[in-house]
């Protein structure tokens, strides 16, 4: 299955409308999905909503709505956002769907049959907001309330009959797996965090709630509802039709190549999820990447601070592609990053309008004035031309490998360096002074156009729509974009004429 690639976003809680943090996870996942697609992979890209559990039940009660109707309403806002973000997802899963319920039941039954589950009593701390159990040493007192040291969310004491998963028995197997598969948890800092958590000792995990009704019932005991995280994590299998015995899509795409998640939910994905899978004898996903947080004006977004950034508002004001570009370029991938309107405007003006947009416009209008938009055909590559094209080719191979390590920062740097050197090339070679040397004039314009073509392809996973707009210069359509021809110095020789295009990015002026 070498050429298949399965990538997932976290499934979002439809407890309130989506914010910038959710948009970030989805945009990053879309970047990888599109990159892999133009690199010749068959991609399955999944996103969706996580609709069971106490958190959602409570939100629906607060909204005075029937819980399913509430989920229908908010889940739709997430689905609409995925369209607005121009995600290339193949599927949008909702955990209230029948296909999901059947998969969760199937996984439960496998675990039960393998004797990985037992009935006992849970007494301990629970955070509804995180849908997580915490041990005593993970709790602190803040403003006269018990809260989780890890997330800061309020916890409550729970005592009830519960089914348990034998998590403790998987401790050494997990540690061994992390050791042998360094790419399993990324980045390194998250990996270290998980390893030390597991080394600290794993207790068996409560995986059912008796006091809750909103969820999937335990098949063998209808008084219990399955723990929402066991339910939610299974979405990655349900979407591949795990419930059926003969399922080609599952055979082709499982194990997932990349579960992209935020750092706050690494424990669920890198400890519980692989333990469930090991226990059920199902192969493990290749990589779990925990990205950082998006801060709003350097602070964590929260309702009380009133600084929650609405992606829709930003998109309506500045457009989608500038937002995608900003999040991928300005947030160092793996770390927390900040977004503010001021920084976004700077980025639009300097990187997009002045740098990329301007390069395209200058070269097109020069080609129009001097060649009537024809691509010059008699060319003779000199050292400086070979150097810039050769440098691109050499670094491009490194670029492709870097994405297998989720190194978006390298990708963006490669793009910005290429843009910088292409602008510099056009300025330094100054074709406007070469009108007496026809071959030289031809060559400079040819190479500049060729660089624009390459840059616009590299830009596709970041800003698909702008990339396609720019590629109209060469009549290249979406299904024709691929990395195979990117290094072909002769590509433009098969295209006789370029097209004029409109301004790619408007500058933001605040007067
Ligand atoms: N429903 C669970 C995930 C289940 S996956 C099997 C959940 N949902 S969530 O809606 O609370 O969060 C979804 C994702 O958004 C998480 O990866 C979380 O890290 C991310 N973000 C939420 N706020 C964020 C920021 N401010 N910045 C970046 N991402 C953050 O957890």
Pairwise CA distance, residues 368 & 2, whole Å: 45
And the tokens for 231? 């339910």
Residue 132 Cα to ligand 1 midpoint, Å, equals 14
Residue 10 Cα to ligand 1 midpoint, Å, equals 7
- Please work out whether the CB of residue 74 comes within 6 Å of at least one atom of ligand 1: no
Residues in the chain: 511
Residue with the nearest Cα to atom 25 of ligand 1? 21
CB neighbours of 373 closer than 8 A, spacing ≥ 6? 364, 367, 497, 498, 499, 500
H/E element, 217:
strand 217-218
Residue with the nearest Cα to atom 19 of ligand 1? 262
And the tokens for 369? 């004035």
Phi/psi at 463 (nearest 5 deg)?
-130, 80
- Cβ atoms 285, 258 nearer than 8 A: yes
Pairwise CA distance, residues 125 & 139, whole Å: 8
- Please work out whether the CB of residue 261 comes within 6 Å of at least one atom of ligand 1: yes
Q: Of 132, 112, 113, 116, whose CA–CA distance to 53 is shortest?
A: 132
Residue 1 pLDDT = 47
- Please work out whether the CB of residue 25 comes within 6 Å of at least one atom of ligand 1: yes
Pairwise CA distance, residues 336 & 448, whole Å: 36
Give the orientation angle of helix 464-471 with respect to helix 320-330, to 10 degrees: 110
Provide the β-strand partners of residue 139. Answer: 148
- Please work out whether the CB of residue 309 comes within 6 Å of at least one atom of ligand 1: no
What's the distance, CA 487 to chain centroid? 27
Residue 43 pLDDT = 98
Residue 462 pLDDT = 98
In this structure, the number of other CB atoms found within 10 A of the CB of residue 221 comes to 12
Residue 368 Cα to ligand 1 midpoint, Å, equals 49
C-alpha distances (whole Å) from 269 to each of 285, 314, 336 are 10, 31, 19
Ordered strands of the 185-186 beta sheet: 91-94, 42-49, 4-8, 258-262, 287-291, 185-186
- Please work out whether the CB of residue 396 comes within 6 Å of at least one atom of ligand 1: no
Domains (ranges, CATH) in the chain?
341-494 (1.10.730.10)
And the tokens for 23? 């948009």
Residue with the nearest Cα to atom 12 of ligand 1? 12
Ordered strands of the 337-339 beta sheet: 299-300, 294-296, 337-339
- Please work out whether the CB of residue 10 comes within 6 Å of at least one atom of ligand 1: yes
- Please work out whether the CB of residue 267 comes within 6 Å of at least one atom of ligand 1: no
Residue 298 pLDDT = 79
- Cβ atoms 448, 440 nearer than 8 A: no
Give the residues of the chain that fall short of pLDDT 50.
Answer: 1
- Cβ atoms 483, 39 nearer than 8 A: yes
| Secondary structure (H, E, C), 384-432 | HHHHHHHHHHHHHHHHHHHHHCCCHHHHHHHHHHHHHHHHHHHHHHCHH
Residue 12 Cα to ligand 1 midpoint, Å, equals 6
- Cβ atoms 213, 68 nearer than 8 A: no
- Please work out whether the CB of residue 13 comes within 6 Å of at least one atom of ligand 1: yes
- Cβ atoms 302, 295 nearer than 8 A: no
Residue 110 Cα to ligand 1 midpoint, Å, equals 28
**Can you tell me whether residue 281 is helix, strand or coil?**
coil
C-alpha angle 29/34/38, rounded to 5°?
150
- Cβ atoms 124, 134 nearer than 8 A: yes
| 76-82 long-range contacts, CB within 8 A, separation 24+ | 77/14, 77/17, 77/18, 78/12, 78/14, 78/18, 78/22, 78/48, 78/49, 79/49, 81/18, 81/22, 81/23, 81/26, 81/311, 81/312, 82/26, 82/47
CB neighbours of 192 closer than 8 A, spacing ≥ 6? none
Residue 507 pLDDT = 94
pTM: predicted TM-score of the whole model, two decimal places: 0.96
Ligand 1 atom closest to 263 (CA): 19
- Please work out whether the CB of residue 466 comes within 6 Å of at least one atom of ligand 1: no
């Amino acid at each position: 299955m070498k050429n298949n690639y399965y990538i997932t976003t976290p499934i979002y809680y439809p407890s309130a409308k989506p914010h910038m943090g959710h948009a970030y996870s989805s945009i990053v996942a879309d970047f990888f999905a599109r990159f892999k697609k133009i690199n010749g992979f068959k991609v399955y890209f999944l996103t969706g909503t996580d609709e069971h559990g106490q958190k959602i039940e409570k939100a629906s009660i607060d909204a005075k709505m029937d819980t399913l109707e509430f989920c229908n309403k908010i889940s739709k806002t997430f689905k609409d956002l995925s369209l607005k973000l121009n995600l290339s997802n193949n599927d949008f899963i909702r955990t209230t769907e029948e296909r999901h319920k059947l998969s969760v039941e199937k996984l439960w039954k496998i675990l039960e049959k393998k004797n990985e589950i037992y009935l006992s009593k849970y007494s301990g701390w629970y955070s509804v907001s995180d849908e997580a159990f915490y041990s005593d040493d993970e709790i602190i007192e803040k403003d006269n309330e018990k809260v989780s040291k890890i997330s800061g969310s309020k916890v409550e004491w729970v005592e009830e009959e519960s089914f348990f998963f034998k998590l403790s028995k998987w401790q050494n197997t997990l540690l061994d797996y992390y050791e042998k598969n360094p790419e399993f948890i990324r980045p390194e800092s998250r990996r270290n965090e998980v390893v030390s958590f597991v080394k600290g000792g794993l207790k068996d995990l409560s995986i059912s709630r008796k006091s809750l009704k909103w969820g999937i019932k335990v098949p063998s005991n209808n008084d219990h509802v399955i723990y929402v995280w066991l339910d939610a994590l299974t979405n990655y299998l349900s979407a591949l039709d795990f419930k059926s015995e003969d399922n080609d899509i599952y055979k082709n795409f499982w194990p997932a190549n990349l579960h992209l998640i935020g750092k706050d939910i690494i424990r669920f994905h890198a400890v519980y999820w692989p333990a469930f899978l090991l226990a059920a004898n199902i192969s493990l996903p290749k990589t779990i990447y925990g990205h950082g947080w998006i801060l709003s004006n350097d602070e964590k977004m929260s309702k009380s601070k009133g600084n929650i950034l609405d992606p829709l508002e930003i998109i309506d004001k500045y457009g989608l592609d500038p937002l995608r570009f900003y999040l991928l370029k300005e947030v160092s991938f793996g770390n927390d990053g900040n977004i503010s309107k001021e920084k976004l405007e700077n980025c639009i003006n300097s990187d997009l309008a002045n740098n990329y947009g301007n390069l395209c416009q200058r070269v097109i209008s020069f080609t129009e004035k001097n060649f009537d938009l024809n691509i010059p055909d008699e060319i003779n590559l000199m050292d400086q031309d070979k150097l810039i094209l050769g440098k691109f080719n050499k670094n491009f191979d490194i670029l492709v490998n870097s994405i297998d390590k989720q190194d978006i920062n390298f990708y963006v740097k490669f793009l910005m360096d290429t843009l910088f050197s292409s602008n510099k090339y056009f300025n330094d070679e100054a074709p406007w002074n070469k009108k007496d040397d026809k071959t030289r004039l031809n060559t400079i314009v040819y190479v500049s156009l060729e660089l624009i073509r390459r840059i616009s392809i590299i830009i596709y996973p970041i800003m698909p729509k702008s990339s396609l707009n720019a590629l109209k210069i060469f009549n290249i359509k979406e299904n024709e974009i691929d990395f195979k021809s990117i290094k072909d110095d002769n590509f433009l020789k098969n295209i006789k004429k370029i097209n004029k295009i409109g301004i790619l990015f408007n500058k933001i002026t605040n007067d």
